[in-house]
Structure 1
């Protein structure tokens, strides 16, 4: 993404730039006039084929069209002495790609002249082949990244288990993602692995050995078993499992403080424990259901269920205001705008949006359609604009993190889509995605039957029925009017 420009300053820089006509500092004078720093940087990075047939950097202009140095008369050193290509130079008359390659070889060189491991060779090839070499160089030159890679270079063999032994950090997981994405490590379900690591630490919080054994069985035979049966553990499943185990540990530690084993618990214990704490203690019902099935407690024992459906929803006036803003704003990231449209207008869940690939998106001159499962949603103008902008400017292959990524919403981890929580946080600067989604569904249930809305938006009829009940929608008049229209002579 280009660096955002500051406002021009005619008083300090009275001469306007010959390219953008704005008042910035002039850094070079070319045949088409004085060129500001912004346009100078852009010129060095403009590539294409000149009218004369030259293929490479086109820093000049001929009749407003990009042109090579020979045709435009521009004086500019873009000849790399390392690779011989035309490119923006970094230092020592060498381009960014050559400097990146040299840096990668230096950082990833094993000690004592040992041969680099196949995994390190895979990372090296990936970094050197980046189209956006400046991003790779900026990343690898960070002190903590350099230190981690040098530590990894000393490893004779790199495996998931060995990475797990290193201190947890974002750099560790990013490098792991690179190794997986470039086939140097097998792909594994990272959320399942994260839950397993978390669970081992959670067990240490249990004060009773007997209760620790119960929670260990609960984790293994309920949560881990369920995760092992899934094609891919979702972020929601991961968070719910952590929450369920955390609340269960809270309950068992409370019983231990009162000298009570789980097998001895009665309804008075549960009522008191739940009354003393937050409403989220009702989530322990999940653990008690499992304990009942495994014959650990009396099946008649119950907790008050955790209250749901109390989240606020956005009012129609605010929805209209935001949708209008999304249709005209240029200050919002196109991907955030694209996601916001699906939430605000079609009530889609962020967890589903982040999993969209470009195979789910069809862009034609007339229409843009997004497919959720088997349901196609049509976007008409101006709601389709951010999606058209994304399709017209693909950038998924610019770095080593996403060389072949098909995700619309690429994440910070190589080869993975953006986390739903991250997108929710980004959208929160404009609106609450949950309140917006609930508000949209609430209003839509007033306009059409449950079955039609459920089919059109990809929801289950039961889910839409709950929103219809909440909005007190009455469809009798709709059905009657439809029937009259159908049989009207």
Structure 2
């Protein structure tokens, strides 16, 4: 972790990491001088009110050399947000198939409340590979493109949620999408046409049609999806096939 001055010595005291992080995340108007910024110090040992760097006589420079924001310095004189922007620009903007879109993604990721979390998250080889593939165009920026990677990975889910929130992707019902993917795989496991046909009719006409009709983008339908999966799974038993064939003949296609 590239954090500068993690355990500094401030006037009269040695700070632990926890206290330092808390101090550098305290912002407001200094009650002594009216400065609006980070308030990491205390006026004195008997006065608990937080005060600014100057009034606390803290000599270290905690102003980002890029954006001039006061706070914890992460690397090379830069705050975590600016360090993250540098890293992501080098990773996904430089040489990108669509630099403008990748620049938008950089701003989305840098705009989170705690950029340190994204700095940690992007150290994962899976995350770096995913971002690089989006940058090169190998993975299209679409729901289908992300689904092709792996719908259930945490990395993909996190990016999908951010992209939906910021309008890069339309909102969708994730549980409906999972059921559609699961159903395709389930039907592919049924080799006998005489069994597959009525199961497919039952799944698509009764369950998939109902799930789509009740679906609202951005709202989960987990309970309905799980119930549908259970019923479809049970429907390919030998004792269920005649019943399904009678209730869902081939003419009832969705």
Normalising by structure 2, report the TM-score: 0.83
C-alpha spacing 1:223/1:155, structure 2 compared with 1 (3 Å): same
Q: For each residue in 1:155-177, what CA deviation from the matched residue of structure 2 results, as whole angstroms up to 9, or x when unmatched?
A: 18522222222244222222222
8 Å Cα contact 2:89/2:106 also seen in 1? yes
Report the Cα distance in structure 1 between the residues aligned to 2:107 and 2:232, rounded to whole angstroms.
42
Larger radius of gyration: 1
Q: For each residue in 1:312-337, what CA deviation from the matched residue of structure 2 results, as whole angstroms up to 9, or x when unmatched?
A: xxxxxxxxxxxxxxxxxxxxxxxxxx
Report what 1:69 is aligned to: 53
SS at match of 1:70: coil
Q: For each residue in 1:68-90, what CA deviation from the matched residue of structure 2 results, as whole angstroms up to 9, or x when unmatched?
A: 12111122321211112212001
8 Å Cα contact 1:122/1:182 also seen in 2? no
Q: CA RMSD in A?
A: 2.4
Report the Cα distance in structure 1 between the residues aligned to 2:191 and 2:98, rounded to whole angstroms.
49
- CA drift of 1:110 comes to 5.8
Report what 2:205 is aligned to: 221
Matched, 1:81 2:81: no
Q: Please show how residues 251-330 of structure 1 align to structure 2 within 5 Å.
A: 251-252=237-238, 262-263=241-242, 288=243, 293-294=247-248
8 Å Cα contact 1:122/1:179 also seen in 2? no
- CA drift of 1:236 comes to 0.6
Segments of structure 1 that go 5 or more residues without pairing to the other structure are 1-26, 256-260, 264-287, 297-489
Q: For each residue in 1:369-416, what CA deviation from the matched residue of structure 2 results, as whole angstroms up to 9, or x when unmatched?
A: xxxxxxxxxxxxxxxxxxxxxxxxxxxxxxxxxxxxxxxxxxxxxxxx
SS at match of 1:64: strand
SS at match of 1:108: helix
Query: 2:231 is matched with which residue: 239, 244, 265?
Result: 244
Query: 1:36 is matched with which residue: 2, 7, 16?
Result: 16
SS at match of 2:15: strand
SS at match of 2:37: strand
Matched, 1:122 2:104: yes
8 Å Cα contact 2:176/2:215 also seen in 1? no
SS at match of 1:85: coil
SS at match of 2:58: coil
C-alpha spacing 1:137/1:214, structure 2 compared with 1 (3 Å): same
Report the Cα distance in structure 2 between the residues aligned to 1:230 and 1:109, rounded to whole angstroms.
40
8 Å Cα contact 1:58/1:68 also seen in 2? yes
8 Å Cα contact 1:123/1:178 also seen in 2? no
Normalising by structure 1, report the TM-score: 0.45
Report what 1:55 is aligned to: 36
8 Å Cα contact 1:32/1:61 also seen in 2? no
8 Å Cα contact 1:123/1:182 also seen in 2? no
Report what 1:452 is aligned to: none
Segments of structure 2 that go 5 or more residues without pairing to the other structure are 1-6
Report the Cα distance in structure 2 between the residues aligned to 1:41 and 1:143, rounded to whole angstroms.
27
- CA drift of 1:114 comes to 3.9
